[in-house]
Chains A and B, each alone.
Chain A
């Protein structure tokens, strides 16, 4: 679908670009959200990403590389935005989903049964814990974990996006998972809270 839309767009059909946007805006926004940690900033990153894609799509030689190219642009913009480092705000969504975990630490979330009234809330809290855990590991490992676990990219694609050797990427994935396990263990989050043996 994307290949065809790219072809049409390059031949002047602007509505084809909107097809590309609708196909990719959610994955890119989720990628940015997990990377930068703020929904509003992630939306801004997504918007900037597609504007850059719009301006530069004619430079993409091989349409089959679109996904990696798009992630590369999104990552660069995420990094630029974080470098600016001026904006730190919590969106309504973050508050609703417990994005910043409110005033609770992971341990308190785990210990307070009143904070887990139902499965939906439990899922939201779990998402908040995982978000916090990802923030604890080094950036070079976090980006690989996000791309692999949530974006479903192959290791060679991640290596291409990051412009790093394949073995380096795999190594970062391994150490990233290990570091996450350690962080979660330190928070004393156990099988009964998460549903999995750590």
Chain B
């Protein structure tokens, strides 16, 4: 092995990254060659010296938390149908209504109420020529209509209540989950804080002990010298 070859291998040897097969040859050369031996010792000394710069404690508390969403956003994600876009919905309804009216006009549709029953007639070729008859609405028809309206209202209110209950339940579940998660993070932070306080206290006690020892030693030496 030549000195030039050895120089390339010095750092491998220094940091224990040399192939096992090469170590023996390398060490053999180092024993014989004073120049390479000195070079290695010098590199070792520099490396050891660098180790005298200890790590610092940056006292960092980086914590990553999930981005909090507003409750309305949470609800929208859980109940997407709850928040349709109003302009779009209004435009759709208006278009549907206009189409219906146009269709009714084109077909000459007539809707009438006779004896509690609705009658529907339509014709593409004009209104049928029939003798005009005045619709007869009896009291029974009105009572029946009121009852139907009442039932419809009751059903709508019931459905609305059910829907609200479901929404509230979902929102509460989400809220509880968020609170649990936040509590876990807080506990982790709290734990780390306690550990740090404990470490500092231990260091401080050790330092105090050291100072007290020094004082005791000093006092005892002073006592001996006075005697």
Nearest residue in B to A99 (C-beta to C-beta)? B56
> What is the CA–CA distance of A126 and B188 in the complex, to the nearest angstrom?
37
Contact B45 A196 (CB under 8 A): yes
Q: Could you tell me if A126 and B64 are in contact, using CB atoms closer than 8 angstroms?
A: no
A180 near B50: Cβ-Cβ < 8 Å: yes
Chain B residue contacts of A15, Cβ below 8 A: 184-185, 188
Kindly state whether residue B192 has any CB partner on chain A within 8 Å: yes
Smallest Cβ distance from B40 to chain A, in angstroms?
11
CB under 8 Å from chain B, chain A span 126-146: 126-127, 130-131, 145
Mask, A119-163, CB within 8 Å of B = 1, is 000010011001100000000000001001110001100000000
Which of A34, A43, A126 contacts B60, CB < 8 Å? A43
Q: Which residues of A contact B83 (CB under 8 A)?
A: none
The answer to whether A177 and B43 touch (CB under 8 A), given A149-B51, A155-B15, is yes
Please tell me if the beta carbons of B56 and A93 are within 8 angstroms of each other in the complex. Answer: yes
Shortest Cβ distance from residue B182 to the other chain A in the assembled complex, whole angstroms: 11
Quick one: which of A21, A54, A123, A148 contacts B52, CB cutoff 8 A? A123
Instruction: Collect the chain A residues with CB atoms within 8 Å of residue B7's CB.
Output: 174
Main secondary structure of the interface of A (DSSP, over half): helix
- Encoded as 1 (CB less than 8 Å from any B CB) or 0, chain A from 29 to 62 comes to 1100110000100110011001000100000000
B46 at the interface (CB under 8 A from A): yes
Contact partner of B65 (CB less than 8 A), chosen from A14, A27, A150, A184, is A14
Check if B15 sits within 8 Å of A43, measured CB to CB: no
Q: Tell me whether A97 and B56 are in contact (CB under 8 A).
A: yes
Report B123 CB to chain A, min CB distance, Å: 64
Listed in ascending order, the chain B residues whose CB lies under 8 Å from chain A are: 7-8, 10-12, 15, 17, 41-43, 45-58, 60, 62-66, 184-185, 188, 192
Binding site for B on A (CB under 8 A): 14-15, 17-18, 21-22, 25-27, 29-30, 33-34, 39, 42-43, 46-47, 50, 54, 93, 97, 123, 126-127, 130-131, 145, 148-150, 154-155, 167, 170-171, 173-174, 177-178, 180-181, 184, 194-198
B193 to chain A, nearest CB (A): 13
A26 touches B54 (CB 8 A): no
CB of B34 to closest CB in A, whole Å: 15
Chain B residues with CB under 8 A of A18: 62-64, 185, 188
Pick from A47, A127, A154: contact of B17, CB below 8 A.
A154
| Contact A130 to B49, CB < 8 A, known contacts A30-B56, A33-B56, A174-B11 | yes
- Complex Cα distance, B50 from A18, in Å, reads 31
Nearest Cβ in chain B — how far from A133, in angstroms? 9
A82 to B53, CA, bound (A): 22
Give the chain B neighbours of A27 by CB distance below 8 A: 55
A47–B185 alpha-carbon span in the complex (Å): 19
